[in-house]
Structure 1
Amino acid sequence: MIWQDGLYLWFLLLIPLLIAASWWYNKQLNEKRISFFGSDLFERLRSGFWPLGKGIKHIAIYIGIGLLIIAAAGPKLGTEVREVKRQGVDLLVALDLSASMNAEDVKPSRLEKAKYEVTRLIERLDGDRVGLVVFTGEAYLQAPMTLDYSALRLFLNIAETKQMPSSSTDFSAAMETASEAFGSIKEDKGGNAAKVMLIISDGENHGESYSSALQQLRDQNVSIYTLGIGTSSGSRIPLYGDSGSLMGYKRNEDGEVVTTKLQPDVLRSIAEEGNGEYYEIRSGGSGIDSFLGRLDELQQGEFASQEYADYKNQYQWLAAIGLLFMLFGMVFPKFKIRD
């Protein structure tokens, strides 16, 4: 048995106090009556009085009060075992952590905006298994496929451009890591679910051709969607010190300030070849919303089946019985009916 609010059970201590107070009051009242009328006259005045009936009357009322207090505590008795199945798609988010993602043409920055939109994505997932890959010139599986969205948020929050050894972008590295992640999924758990990779980047690619890695994902029946972040006008890449103060802007080998722009052609080409779609994130979140709508249309697989005990509330019965006891106590006679 468990309780909805066990604190109410402390009120049961009032019942002994009520019994003691009632006994003391009746004792004092009887003494006063006898002193006024005398014991013989008092007994004749209350002729037909039934002490046992009075006791039954009080006991029934106290039992009723006790049951109402227990009912207020919300007892839960018995269990019903239910099976809950979690269904969804296998989604792997690949987040670009190159230096250009620090550009502030999308406020507060491309990276922070991307992380915010991925957080919105996670909050709206329901039963989908999701993982996180971070990449620049190299790629790492930041979070393996999981149904634990809270843990995924933690991995997402600590993703920063400073954690990566390279500041360039190589899509092939991200695709190869994604291929390994999808390949490690056990087929006996949701093997029929759609496999989706979502690449979030500004589109700058400094790596080698990604054709081979993309084809490998296609062979694994992975659909590749891309989400471009940035503006066509572009922005400089700020450099901040450890204290958070602006130190300057990123420059190229010739000493010129670098301007980074959204390059949608590369991302659009990846999506087309990967049997997916291309979206954009600018000031709003329409891109991630459109992707979510598409995600709902994909084939769902069963990832987890869990049994849990559902406790049944039983306060209604106790409350009803308690009221019946109180009603019985109020109507029960304490005087015998004479013929």
Structure 2
Amino acid sequence: MIELMHPQALWLLLLIPLLMVLRSVEASHWKRHKKGFFHSKTYPRIVHVKPVRRKLIHFLEYTGLILCILALSGPGVGTEIREVQREGVDILIALDLSQSMSAADVKPSRLERAKLEIVKMFSVLKGDRVGLVGFAGVAHLQCPLTLDHRAARMLLDVMDVSLLPVQGSTIADAVAVSVGAFPEKDEKHKVLILISDGEDHEKQIEEAVNLAVSKGVIIYTLGVGTLEGAPIPVYKNNQLVDYKRDKSGKVIITQLNEDALWQMAHATGGEYLRLTDVENPLLQIYDEISKLEKKAFQTHEYGHFKQLFQIFLGLGLGLFLVSGLIPENGKRNDADTSM
């Protein structure tokens, strides 16, 4: 497994297209101005630039720069796999992906703000396994329980209101899919964090609560939105074209509905928080989860990383040296000299 110690150094790769643009502008500038100093037939006799050589030199320089930047990122490769024991809790996050989560009464939108709070929580996770469930008209297990928090973060990034084919909001289905994703043999160490604006079109909350209680799942809920509400935007080609309307043509206002969220949390021994009332609400919920009894997980990870930056740096500097040894100008032919 390859790992980068300083992945932020890869941003320097953006310098390469910038350098290419600057060189192109400089070449165009020189071509325009050389006409004022040389006759069109005189310049080629003075400077014999070989286009193929120039392209080769630039290729070597760009490749050398890429390799040097990769060296700065600190690449390393794991030389062995070792077994590691961790302690934590199984945490599933059920995220509402219904269209009402596009409302902007919470900036930049309900969904984007919820995802930001999840990312904050991911950054402080310790030995806990985490999974993701998306729900709208149906519920879907987006990420099974895993200790690979970076993989979960990547799967979170693609979760939006277009992910699921059926719209609506079925909180009960989200609970059922989440409960089914926990290991059957465990009677505790199971937590579900359900994030939603509370709109539920199926009204089967009581059944969902009973299922969670029977399986030993504690539910924490986070309400996203405001009691005043906001219209649901309609986008086409990433452009706002209208707001969702009812059959009479009136703009629909979606409001935070806290009843179901509060009911689930308190019936299962969890807690309900309103996102707009608390700073870093998921971090507060995680503090409570951290007080629960933990279980041991067996996992495997790569260890003893061998650093490879020397190889990339050596190759990069070598290419710079070779590019400097290649002459850009070719020899003039005798026929050209006699003209």
TM-score of Structure 1 vs Structure 2, range by shorter chain: 0.5 to 0.7
- Partner residue in 2 for 1:137: 137
- Give the conservation status (yes or no) of the 8 Å contact 1:90–1:193: no
| Seq. identity, % | 40
In structure 2, C-alpha distance between the alignment counterparts of 1:176 and 1:309, rounded to whole Å: 38
Determine whether 1:222 maps to 2:217: yes
- C-alpha displacement of 1:293: 1.1
Q: Any runs of at least 4 consecutive aligned residues in structure 1 with deviations exceeding 4 A, and if so which?
A: 305-311
- Partner residue in 2 for 1:51: none
The correspondence of residues 173-322 of structure 1 with structure 2, limited to 5 A, is 173-182=173-182, 185=183, 187=185, 191=186, 194-242=189-237, 244-282=238-276, 285-306=279-300
Alignment length (residue pairs)? 228
Cα distance change of structure 1 residues 132 and 82 upon mapping to structure 2, 3 Å threshold: closer
- Give the conservation status (yes or no) of the 8 Å contact 2:117–2:280: no
In structure 1, C-alpha distance between the alignment counterparts of 2:137 and 2:269, rounded to whole Å: 24
What do residues 82-124 of structure 1 show as CA deviations (whole Å, max 9, x unaligned)? 8642110000000000110000011000000001111111111
- Partner residue in 1 for 2:56: none
In structure 2, C-alpha distance between the alignment counterparts of 1:124 and 1:118, rounded to whole Å: 10
- Partner residue in 2 for 1:92: 92
Secondary structure of the residue aligned to 1:240 is strand
In structure 1, C-alpha distance between the alignment counterparts of 2:158 and 2:90, rounded to whole Å: 23
- Give the conservation status (yes or no) of the 8 Å contact 1:135–1:170: yes
- The TM-score, its normalising length taken from structure 1, stands at 0.63
The correspondence of residues 39-118 of structure 1 with structure 2, limited to 5 A, is 84-118=84-118
- Give the conservation status (yes or no) of the 8 Å contact 1:97–1:134: yes
AA at the equivalent of 2:198: G
In structure 2, C-alpha distance between the alignment counterparts of 1:217 and 1:194, rounded to whole Å: 13
AA at the equivalent of 2:117: E
In structure 2, C-alpha distance between the alignment counterparts of 1:161 and 1:134, rounded to whole Å: 9
Cα distance change of structure 1 residues 170 and 301 upon mapping to structure 2, 3 Å threshold: same
Larger radius of gyration: 1
- C-alpha displacement of 1:281: 1.0
CA RMSD in angstroms comes to 2.5
AA at the equivalent of 1:220: K
Cα distance change of structure 1 residues 293 and 208 upon mapping to structure 2, 3 Å threshold: same
- The TM-score, its normalising length taken from structure 2, stands at 0.63
Unpaired runs of at least 5, structure 2: 1-80, 306-339
In structure 1, C-alpha distance between the alignment counterparts of 2:88 and 2:233, rounded to whole Å: 39
- C-alpha displacement of 1:193: 5.4
